[in-house]
Structure 1
Amino acid sequence: MDKINLLVTISIIIIFIALFLSLFLLTVKTAHKLSNRLFAFFLVLTAIDISANLGDLLAISLNMRIFISSFFFLQLPTFYLYVLSVCYSDFKLKRKHLIHGVTFLIANLVLLPRFYAVDEDSKISFLANIKSMPEIQFNHVLMHIQMLFYLVAAFMILRKARKIYLENYAGASIESLNWLFQFTVALSAFYFIALVKNIFKFTEYPNISAGLKIGLVLFELIIIFWYLYKALNNPGLFRTIDSKLKLVQDIILEEKNSNQFTINEKEHSEELLKLQHYMMEEKPFLSSSLTIQDISVAIEIPVRDLSLLINHTLEQHFYDFVNAYRIESAMDILKDSTKSKLTILEILYDVGFNSKSSFNTAFKKHTGYTPTYYRKML
């Protein structure tokens, strides 16, 4: 009885927080409306799914209870679309995305002949033998296949987006991608535990399944609080990239396939000198929102050629290329005795960083020391 009360209590808290956060995401003024709406929908689906733990507290029909449980099949597809919307600024929902609702449709169609379309007594008999019903077993297999597919797909999207970002941008979006990766890892852990729970559910150890269920609900509460904390404390965290941008390795492959990939050493040397002169004289790296497109326009070198020059010829990501200039500039400030009163935070903003963690990481990678230790050494 205590376990049941605890489960119901935590479930009510999760439902309240999920719906409250959904309302906040739908009403807050932001440029990322689609991302907010998708995650709000994900939270609503989570609240609907968790409402199954309320049991008899909800006076609804058996058909509705089973139908509500099938909403799980929409959760990960919605999260996958959310990841796409966060990663790519030009992402839009299209009719083709309706395909992500196929598993939800299949799961309900499977139950139609022997559950939805039968009388109440037959429904009760079906639920009494639910563990041995082939429809339920099929839906559990389908559920786990879907879980694996969408989690792998989300990781692949994040991996590609991170590479594109490093090759074309030098702002703070890498942190949002890193955080979204961590969030996806947490969700993966959650669904893995759910998989283990479901395995025990169909064995002779249902108590283990019940214990894991309470653990999952607590884990879900932590994940939602984590997202809420990040979203409220970092409103500018989610900045996206252009999906039309290509990875350098794909550009090289395309040019090799079309026999256009040739290296003109003289032309590359001239472009490199032009780039280095612009970076030293104009100091565009002081802008935290600098992109490869900005430099391309300024020095009149096509983005494609500039990307190949930095990411392929110099064998350095644009992100690291720009940060190297920022760190050199920070080192000059740290060495200047007339600027000794400037704090590390003031310096990092002055040289183009907008995150203390990214500045410390880049500084240590470039010098082998933390900014504070480097200043003490001087």
Structure 2
Amino acid sequence: MKAQIFNIHDVVLLMTVAECFLLAIFQAVLPVTNRLASILLSCFLLCVAVGSACILVLWNGDVHIHPVFDRHFLPYFLVTALILKGPALYLYVASLTRESFHLQPRHLWHLTPVAAAMLWLAIFRIDSLDLSFRSIDATDFSRSLVDCVWHVVKALPFIYGIAAVLLTKKYQSQLKDQYSDFSTTEPGWLKVLTIGFLVSWSLSGIAHIIAQTASPDVSDSFGIADNYVTFILINALFTYSLVYAHKLLTTKHEPIKDKHDEKLTDSAIEKVQQGMEIQKLYLKHNLNIEEFSKRIDLPVKEVSAVINKHYGTNFFEFMNTYRVEEAKRLLSDEKHADMTVLDVLLQSGFNSKSAFHRFFNRLVGVSPTEFRKNGAPDAALKKAANE
């Protein structure tokens, strides 16, 4: 009977490699509106595929490509793939969330760690035996050189994972500053995915740390868990790219504020007030801060300053507060008793039932149905008094 070459954990790596290559090809030929995001996603998938394949060859003695490649060239492919997967994910998130995002010469600095690692491998002639700590000629110095390589390839993805999570958090904040109504589903799932990859790369880092200080078996357990989590996340990321990514709203780059931005004029405050109270612009569906600024003839940065500093809120909250007041008026007016709650939310400027109910409950204290049933503008207070 032939000896078993692959165990179940190796099979997961093989499936990850195969699926990433196929998905990268599929992503490349798929007609999309955001071509740069598609290219960056394909790059990320290829990094994961190459990294997983090299890890399989490095640690499984029964898997070979070519003796020369396995011994001398594999470290370069492995290190490059492991380092680049972090920037690829971060730039993919940036291309999805930022308006008119494109790669610029300044983005080349993301390649600096790769170049440094290549020089390190070449100068100290680190091969696969060194990288897997199987070299019989290894000294304490040579092991420390190899440890440096592993420190870098484990730390950098973790750092980029944190940066990607922070980028999604900033994106959600900018949505509230620039849009009066948006779906939370797409940004929410994007944040979940970035957190997922951060967890995955944390597991990989923990496995590396444990390998230096504790039992190899414990380290292997964390490494194996990382492989399974990666396989799940790759499928989730590709599904997200097909179903949700194209629905994301993009945000504009926030200009650097100077000292003049801090001074609010009475004229600017009055224009914003007139836009809300006279023009009733909050009734317009899908209103963003650019459209609002055009309607009141005031620069976006001044509109933002008035809302942030004079009213102490963001554009999203500002608009929806007025919409809730309009909904209260309609619900308490007997002339509109035949209107359904859906009619009310649409006529108030809301697009989403969930957003309407969430804001109404938070600002009024009761649901729209309860508010109408109580039949008074201060339904929440009336209800509390009765209790």
- Tell me the TM-score normalised to structure 1 length: 0.80
DSSP 3-state at the match of 2:39: helix
Deviations 1:228-261 (A, max 9, x none): 3433332543221122x33xxx63x5327xxxx5
| Aligned residue number for residue 285 of structure 2 | 287
Structure 1 residue 99 corresponds to structure 2 residue 85: no
Q: Which runs of no fewer than 5 residues in structure 1 stay unpaired?
A: none
| Aligned residue number for residue 65 of structure 2 | 59
| CA drift at 1:274 | 1.4
For 2:76, the aligned partner's letter is F
Which of 214, 231, 244 is the aligned partner of 1:221? 231
| Aligned residue number for residue 68 of structure 1 | 77
| Aligned residue number for residue 298 of structure 1 | 295
For 2:227, the aligned partner's letter is V
Between 46-55 and 76-85, the greater mean CA deviation after superposition: 46-55
Which of 82, 88, 95 is the aligned partner of 1:78? 88
- Evaluate the alpha carbon distance shift between residue 197 and residue 7 of structure 1 in structure 2; reply closer, same or farther with a 3 A threshold: same
- Evaluate the alpha carbon distance shift between residue 129 and residue 213 of structure 1 in structure 2; reply closer, same or farther with a 3 A threshold: farther
What pairs up with 1:112-261 in 2 under 5 angstroms? 112-115=122-125, 127=135, 133-172=143-182, 175-243=185-253, 245-246=254-255, 251=257, 253-255=258-260, 261=262
- Evaluate the alpha carbon distance shift between residue 191 and residue 295 of structure 1 in structure 2; reply closer, same or farther with a 3 A threshold: same
| Aligned residue number for residue 110 of structure 1 | 120
| Aligned residue number for residue 18 of structure 1 | 20
- Evaluate the alpha carbon distance shift between residue 131 and residue 191 of structure 1 in structure 2; reply closer, same or farther with a 3 A threshold: farther
For 1:90, the aligned partner's letter is S
- 2:56 and 2:63 in contact (8 A); partners too: yes
DSSP 3-state at the match of 2:31: coil
Structure 1 residue 315 corresponds to structure 2 residue 312: yes
- Evaluate the alpha carbon distance shift between residue 28 and residue 269 of structure 1 in structure 2; reply closer, same or farther with a 3 A threshold: same
| CA drift at 1:75 | 0.7
CA distance in 1, matches of 2:138, 2:328: 67
CA distance in 1, matches of 2:103, 2:112: 16
- 2:282 and 2:320 in contact (8 A); partners too: no
| Aligned residue number for residue 275 of structure 1 | 275
| CA drift at 1:122 | 9.0
CA distance in 2, matches of 1:64, 1:349: 62
| Aligned residue number for residue 7 of structure 1 | 9
| CA drift at 1:216 | 1.0
| CA drift at 1:374 | 5.8
- Evaluate the alpha carbon distance shift between residue 95 and residue 375 of structure 1 in structure 2; reply closer, same or farther with a 3 A threshold: same
DSSP 3-state at the match of 2:248: coil
- Evaluate the alpha carbon distance shift between residue 215 and residue 73 of structure 1 in structure 2; reply closer, same or farther with a 3 A threshold: same
Deviations 1:204-232 (A, max 9, x none): 51111222222111111222232234333
Deviations 1:271-298 (A, max 9, x none): 2431223552xx454322x211101111
| CA drift at 1:100 | 0.6
DSSP 3-state at the match of 1:92: coil
CA distance in 2, matches of 1:226, 1:104: 28
- 2:48 and 2:85 in contact (8 A); partners too: yes
Q: Which runs of no fewer than 5 residues in structure 2 stay unpaired?
A: 376-387
For 1:273, the aligned partner's letter is Q
- 1:35 and 1:86 in contact (8 A); partners too: yes
Q: Percent identity, aligned pairs only?
A: 21
- Evaluate the alpha carbon distance shift between residue 333 and residue 202 of structure 1 in structure 2; reply closer, same or farther with a 3 A threshold: same
Corresponding residue pairs, total = 360
CA distance in 2, matches of 1:145, 1:121: 22
DSSP 3-state at the match of 2:247: coil
Larger Rg: 2
- Evaluate the alpha carbon distance shift between residue 80 and residue 334 of structure 1 in structure 2; reply closer, same or farther with a 3 A threshold: same
Between 162-171 and 104-113, the greater mean CA deviation after superposition: 162-171
- Tell me the TM-score normalised to structure 2 length: 0.79
For 1:368, the aligned partner's letter is G
CA distance in 2, matches of 1:130, 1:374: 76
CA RMSD of superposed structures (Å): 3.5
Deviations 1:346-365 (A, max 9, x none): 87666555555444433333
CA distance in 2, matches of 1:350, 1:40: 43
Deviations 1:312-345 (A, max 9, x none): 11112001112223444555666644233x7x5x
CA distance in 2, matches of 1:152, 1:122: 30
| CA drift at 1:106 | 1.6
| CA drift at 1:300 | 1.3
